Amino acid sequence: MKKIISTTKAPAPIGPYNQAILSGNTLYTSGQIAINPMTGELVLDSIKSETKQVMENMKEVLAAAEMTFENVVKTCIFISDMNTFSEINTVYGEYFNEETAPARETVEVANLPKFVNVEISMIAIK
Ligand SMILES: C=C(N)C(=O)O
């Protein structure tokens, strides 16, 4: 069974995808970028504020599926510049308990939608 997860508390999709799909007990989120859902504007002031907006958006997507970061088992971080890795980790780490943090990969990519600097997707289990 495939259930579409949707919330106005996170940015609306900017293409032909949904914010997340729940399949059984598993939630597959789309990649979040730093769009402020209230204004529709990108938050690109600093890599830290950009990462925080991404994580806040993701928190709302998880909440729409009645989940939290505690449910997350895997994440994928796409970044435009590996030199920002440390700052992204600092913000990202504030959302997870170090001992139960999910599996993850981080990859530098040539470009991201809307020319943002970071995009994060997650898989979570209920
Ligand atoms: C932002 C996205 N997740 C996308 O364009 O696929």
Q: Given the CA of residue 121, which atom of ligand 1 is nearest to it?
A: 3
Q: Given the CA of residue 31, which atom of ligand 1 is nearest to it?
A: 3
User: CA–CA separation, 55 vs 92, rounded Å?
Assistant: 7
pTM: 0.97
CATH number listed for the domain at residues 2-125: 3.30.1330.40
Report which of 53, 35, 113 is spatially closest to residue 80, judged by C-alpha positions: 113
Q: What is the pLDDT of residue 28?
A: 99
Q: Which residue has 């600093």 as its token pair?
A: 46
Q: What is the pLDDT of residue 74?
A: 98
pLDDT-based confidence at 81, cuts 50/70/90? very high
* pLDDT tens digits, 13-24: 999 999 999 999
Regarding the beta carbon of 40 and ligand 1, being less than 6 Å apart is answered no
Report which DSSP code applies to 35: B
What is the ipTM, given to two decimal places?
0.92
Q: What is the pLDDT of residue 72?
A: 98
Report which of 122, 104, 15, 103 is spatially closest to residue 63, judged by C-alpha positions: 122
Q: What is the pLDDT of residue 51?
A: 98
**To test the ligand 1 pocket, which listed residue (57, 119, 121) has its Cβ within 8 A of the most ligand atoms?**
119
